[in-house]
A and B are shown apart, each in its own frame.
Chain A
Amino acid sequence: MLRMPRARGQARCGLGEGDRVEADELLLLVAGGDQKAFEELYGLVSGPVFGLVRRVVRDPAQSEEVAQEVLLELWRSAAKFDPGRGSAMSWVLTLAHRRAVDRVRSARAAGEREQREALRANQPAFDQVTEEVEAGLEREWVRRCLDRLTVLQRQSVTLAYYEGYTYREVAEQLSLPLGTVKTRMRDGLTRMRECLGGVA
């Protein structure tokens, strides 16, 4: 396998297949208490984790806090990682997404209704993807593939994933029946998979 040399623990953004395999191996070492391995793993996952959390949470200070908690949880719970269930990167990003969504929902519950109104006024969520700092290849592909979805598929997927809304809230915002939203989410994700070529 080809591996690019890189400084230990440096945050990066792009991800290749090699990184994913490497993340799996590192996480297994981390599960055994290897702090050096954690530093390397940090270099691989901190960019994706931070970017995702910031995308969902928005507020920079809160994003940093949530990202830190996720990365520490990664250290603490490394022994729970099971490569038989999926890649380390998926595990970490799923964890990060869950925490980010929890945070943004509790912030909303605490009274940030204006954001909801703003969203109802409607800015398709995916547009912000293009504003992110670095336009990596992956980013470009995802954006293109999102563009190929129907409007309702795209909105159902992005309102849930990037904005942290439940499917009930999405249904309400788009004035669609619950069943339709669930189907749009499923079809949207499946079409993304086809478009991205299933390189998971």
Chain B
Amino acid sequence: MSLFRREDPHSLAAPYALDALEPPERIRFERHMKDCDRCTAEVRALSEDAVRLAWSTAAPPPAAMRDRVMLAVRTTPQDPAPQGASHASARTRATQLPPHVWGAQPPPRQRRRIPLFVPFATATAAAALVVASLFAVQANRTQDRLTAEQDRSREIAHVLAAPDARAGSGRDGRGRTIGVIASATEGSAVVTLGGYGAPAGGRVHQLWLMRPGAQPRSLGLFASDTPLVATGLGASATSLAVTVEPAGGSPQPTTQPIVQLALKSVGFGE
């Protein structure tokens, strides 16, 4: 915009610190700051002043907000550290970076929005627990892996967000668990295994849908401890079963289930 050029670009530090620039102007001014120490220093100081205005507005948030945020956190992978920095060494990194100005580079918008905050009435603390174990955040994820995790997070969030989402779990004789959060109306479920580890010899854990009078249907393979999202579950679904299968899985179960979970408690088969 020509207006900007006619103005003194150095004069925008205060409006910038107050978030009072229009987005194109904001971007231009951020570019200007890269080459202008004076504006950079000024924005740094003025931004701290502006933040003082924020402190005076503090107010207790609704209690339910905390539960929603915590649940979202448990199912949301973190973005990798900026280039040249390693996740594992946040502290070291912090001291190594040149102290350039706070405010000049606000956190970029996320690449994609993950709609985690649809209200969910019945996803309970149990559901949160089931999900909690799954997303132990790992350092050094590849971008592919991260993208896949974000996709899965979104699917999980979708199941959690269903108004009829319910959680159930089963435990075998050795204390190992299978957990499920399912929505009968969505016909989908998030399934997790706890304590099983990876089967020996490159074999895999395969999840099956059991229905009366029908062959088991494969719902997919578990990859280590990460949850599996199963979709297309009809109302007639009666239970889930897990078997150990050769690498790549099988068209039909070739071994006895190691664990089975009835779906009635989560609203199916009624």
Contact = CB atoms under 8 A, between A and B. Distances in A.
Interface string B154-178: 0000000000000000000000000
Contacts of A77: 78-79, 107, 110
A174 interface: no
Interface residues on B, range: 35 or more
Interface string A165-200: 111101000000011011101100110110010001
A15 B65 contact: no
- Of B13, B45, B62, B102, which is in contact with the most chain A CB atoms at under 10 Å from its CB? B102
A68 B79 contact: no
A12 B72 CA distance: 21
A112 to B, nearest CB: 18
A186 B66 contact: no
B18 A82 contact: no
Contacts of B82: 79-80
B188 interface: no
Interface in B1-48: 7, 11-15, 17-22, 44-48
6 contacts: A48-B57, A68-B68, A79-B78, A79-B82, A86-B48, A196-B52
Closest 3 CB pairs of A and B: A33-B137, A86-B102, A85-B102
Interface of A: 9, 11-15, 28, 31-33, 35, 38-39, 42, 46-52, 54-55, 64-65, 67-69, 71-73, 75-80, 82-86, 89-91, 93-98, 101, 129, 132-134, 136, 138-139, 141-143, 157-158, 160-162, 164-168, 170, 178-179, 181-183, 185-186, 189-190, 192-193, 196, 200
